[in-house]
Amino acid sequence: MATRRVAIAILGEDPRVASVAAEALELMGLELAGVKVHSVPVPCLDEAREQLRAECVAAFVRSVVEESLVALGIVGADAYVPGLNFVFGLALPSLRVATVYTPRLRIGASYNLFRERLVKEVMHELGHVYGLSHCPNRLCVMSFSNSLLEVDMKRPAFCRRCASLLRRAGLEPRALLE
């Protein structure tokens, strides 16, 4: 059975976002193991792009969280992976780490809309950590989002198929699409 315990590393973001991320954990049947605040890792900065290299940040987050726990990074800086202009988040399932990048989630958003977007992206990236791939159901939180419109369109819930796969991984998701 997969560990249900997740530790959050906050990097360059208001530590209060941890409570928003904790909402996402609850919806997935996960347990918050702790929260620590860290500086954004300077070696991960691509100065030419003025963005963080998401894989570097994920490796850093993994390094500051106890190995027995799943690691979640909430990062207050923009990031990318090669081949994409930006990412809302990144999961490296083999390392049991997920990261979510908040600046783009704040664009044109009230605080409530930002919270909803952050919950969805945390659920999405942790879904990958627990074995889920992208879902063709556009309302499922595991649907791929290439824009804020797509983030806003999906729901903070798993479709039946994705929920079933999470149950097989030992989780008890509480947010299900009707």
Active site residues: 125
Q: What string of DSSP letters covers the chain?
A: ----EEEEEEESS-TTHHHHHHHHHHHHT-EEEEEEEE---GGGEETTTTEEEHHHHHHHHHHHS-TTSEEEEEESS-EE-TTSS--SEEEEGGGTEEEEE-GGGGTT--HHHHHHHHHHHHHHHHHHHTT----S-TTSTTS--SSHHHHHHS-SSB-HHHHHHHHHTT-----B--
